[in-house]
Amino acid sequence: MRSHLLERSKQEGKPNERYFLTGSSFTGSWSSALHAMDGYGVYTFPDGSEYRGYFAKGLFHGNGRLHLSKPYGITFRGVFIEGRLSEMLDIRFDDNLHMEMNLQGWKADFDKWDYCCEGDRRYLVEQIEGLAAVGPKPFKRIGQSSFIPEKLYDVGEGLFNPATRMITKRPNPFPAYRCVACEDEYHKIREDCRSGTPLTIKDIPLETCRRIIKLNLQSEKELEELPPSCNYHPIEERKGLVKEIRRAFGKKPEKFLARSLTDLEESESFGGVATVCGVSTSSCSSFTCESLIVDRAEQLETTRKYDQFVWDGLPSGQPLWAYRDI
Residue 163 and residue 93 share a domain: no
What pLDDT, on a 0 to 100 scale, did the predictor assign at position 160? 92
CA-only gyration radius of the chain, Å: 24
Residue 246 lies in a domain: no
Residue 310 lies in a domain: no
Residue 31 lies in a domain: yes
Residue 64, C-beta contacts closer than 8 angstroms, at least 6 positions apart: 51, 52, 53, 54, 77, 78, 79, 80
Of the candidates 36, 81, 75, 70, the one whose C-alpha atom is nearest the C-alpha of residue 52 is 75
Give CA–CA dist 192/137, Å, rounded: 17
Which of 82, 99, 116 marks a domain boundary?
A: 99
pLDDT of 199 > 60? The answer is: yes
Q: What are phi and psi of 160, to 5 degrees?
A: -105, 130
- In terms of average pLDDT, the best of 19-33, 144-158, 305-319 is 19-33
Choose between 280 and 158: higher pLDDT: 158
Query: What DSSP state is assigned to residue 232?
Result: E
Residue 306 lies in a domain: no
Give CA–CA dist 310/86, Å, rounded: 36
For residue 278, count other CB atoms closer than 10 A to its CB: 12
What pLDDT, on a 0 to 100 scale, did the predictor assign at position 99? 81
pLDDT band for 216, please (50, 70, 90 cuts). confident
Give CA–CA dist 250/321, Å, rounded: 10
Residue 227, C-beta contacts closer than 8 angstroms, at least 6 positions apart: none
> Whole domain around residue 37: which residue ranges?
17-99
Of the candidates 3, 25, 1, 2, the one whose C-alpha atom is nearest the C-alpha of residue 14 is 25
Q: What is the SS3 assignment for 3?
A: helix
The pTM of this model reads 0.50
What pLDDT, on a 0 to 100 scale, did the predictor assign at position 130? 67
pLDDT band for 245, please (50, 70, 90 cuts). low
Total domains, the chain: 2
Which of 193, 226, 259 marks a domain boundary?
A: 226
CA torsion 221-227-232-234 (nearest 10°) is 60
Give CA–CA dist 213/208, Å, rounded: 9
Residue 226: half-sphere exposure toward Cβ, Cα within 13 Å? 21
What pLDDT, on a 0 to 100 scale, did the predictor assign at position 268? 36
Residue 71, C-beta contacts closer than 8 angstroms, at least 6 positions apart: 156, 157, 171
Choose between 108 and 267: higher pLDDT: 108
Residue 105 lies in a domain: no
Tens digit of pLDDT for each residue in 118-166? 777 777 777 776 666 555 555 555 556 677 888 899 888 889 999 999 9
Which of 187, 206, 226 marks a domain boundary?
A: 226
pLDDT band for 65, please (50, 70, 90 cuts). very high
pLDDT of 324 > 50? The answer is: no
AA letter at 152: L
Please report, for residues 14, 219, 284, 290, 293, the alpha-carbon distance to residue 278 in angstroms, rounded to integers and kept in the order given: 53, 21, 15, 10, 5
Are 323 and 311 contacting, i.e. CB atoms less than 8 angstroms apart? no
Tens digit of pLDDT for each residue in 76-105? 888 999 988 888 888 888 877 878 778 777
Counting residues of the chain whose pLDDT is more than 70, the rounded percentage is 56
Of the candidates 270, 264, 269, 298, the one whose C-alpha atom is nearest the C-alpha of residue 282 is 270
What pLDDT, on a 0 to 100 scale, did the predictor assign at position 85? 87
Average pLDDT, the chain: 70
